[in-house]
């Protein structure tokens, strides 16, 4: 399965129902990550193109608009990881948003995610579709692909709360 398909399925799942909770750090032992969600998140496993996706999502109404926060991870097959360098796999993320979500890529930049004394290839993307803005950081950690998302209005996806959520993502030690 391509990264384009994974991103398309992920974006569709971000429309899940509203949740309640409080601002706190969420630790995923299976996912080997933590992130500070503004609400109690819900874990939603999905299958897409033969891959298992594990989606941790929280959505809330804010000023009559909904905003979603999610961390998705999937373990890619060894042959896919071996045949494509991490950076190449990440480049497919922007293409997937354009092709499957029919979004316009506003910005796409290669970056490095630093965790536990190591550097991992990553890509930051901002995409727009109609009144929605999607902000995502895609991180390749060995054979595991992480996607950290915020989706909502432009103000929500590029605001302080979105910044804090994206910055809160950490790999377990």
**Helix or strand run (H / E) with residue 156:** helix 154-157
Instruction: Name the nearest CA neighbour of 32 among 124, 141, 117.
Output: 141
> What pLDDT was estimated at residue 84?
79
Q: Which residues of the chain have pLDDT under 70?
A: 1-23, 62-64
Q: Encode 28-85 in three state secondary structure.
A: ECCCCEEEEECCCCEEEEEEECCEEEEEEEEEEEECCEEEEEEEEEEECCHHHHHHCC
- Both structure tokens of 104: 């316009």
Spell out the CATH class of 3-171: alpha beta
Q: What is the pLDDT of residue 23?
A: 63
């Amino acid at each position: 399965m391509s990264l384009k398909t994974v991103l398309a399925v992920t974006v569709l799942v971000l429309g899940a129902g509203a949740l309640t909770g409080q601002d706190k750090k969420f630790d995923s032992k299976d996912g080997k990550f933590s992130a500070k969600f503004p609400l109690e998140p819900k874990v939603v496993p999905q299958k897409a193109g033969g891959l298992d996706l594990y989606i941790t999502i929280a959505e809330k109404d804010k000023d009559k608009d909904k905003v979603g926060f999610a961390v998705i991870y999937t373990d890619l097959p060894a042959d896919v990881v071996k045949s494509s360098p991490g950076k190449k796999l990440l480049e497919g993320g922007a293409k997937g948003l354009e092709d499957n979500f029919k979004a316009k890529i506003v910005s796409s930049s290669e970056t490095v995610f630093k965790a536990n004394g190591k550097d991992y290839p990553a890509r930051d993307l901002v995409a727009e579709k109609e009144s929605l803005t999607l902000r995502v950081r895609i991180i390749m950690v060995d054979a595991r692909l992480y996607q950290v998302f915020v989706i909502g209005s432009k103000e929500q996806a590029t605001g302080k709360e979105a910044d804090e959520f994206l910055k809160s993502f950490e790999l377990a030690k």
